[in-house]
Amino acid sequence: MPHRLLLAVLLMLAPMLTPMLTSVSSFAHTIVNGPHGGEVEDANPGPLLHFETVVKGTTATVYLTDEDGKPLLAAGVSGTIIVLANEKKVSFPLTPAGPNVLTGTGNFASDPNMKALVTLTISGQQQKALFSMLSGQAQ
């Protein structure tokens, strides 16, 4: 008898719980075509940091913004990018190159399955973002 009661309660609560559970996925998002033409990802653990990564040739450029898209200063930020392309892993440093920009150049070639992991140290805390839709950018 208690199992039937529990099942009845769960069935009654399901319509209320569904929107709450689906909204959790809205915290992390991917924007394929960001303001600079790159992929935008939430930084982890964040909070409220976005990285936009643009790959042109063998140069990776990362733009830093807050949750509202406002630029965050890159001064004092250090980091690396690991690019996985053509079944090879290439790691190279990212250094500040503008107010909210870091860049780095590595030895890799364009690949339709190219992915990248950006790791930045911002205010002493490591922030990471994984990019998996970079293939259309490198030329």
CATH code assigned at 83? 2.60.40
The total number of structural domains in the chain stands at 1
CA torsion sign, 46 to 73 to 36 to 57?
negative
In a domain, 11, yes or no: no
119 in helix, strand or coil?
strand
Q: How many Cβ atoms sit within 10 Å of the Cβ of residue 3?
A: 7
In a domain, 92, yes or no: yes
Would the pLDDT of 9 be above 60?
no
Residue 51 belongs to what domain range?
A: 27-131
pTM of the complete model: 0.77
Of 8-12, 23-27, 95-99, give the lowest mean pLDDT range: 23-27
In a domain, 137, yes or no: no
In a domain, 16, yes or no: no
In a domain, 99, yes or no: yes
In a domain, 3, yes or no: no
22-69 pLDDT, tens digit each = 333 334 567 778 899 999 999 999 778 999 999 999 999 999 999 888
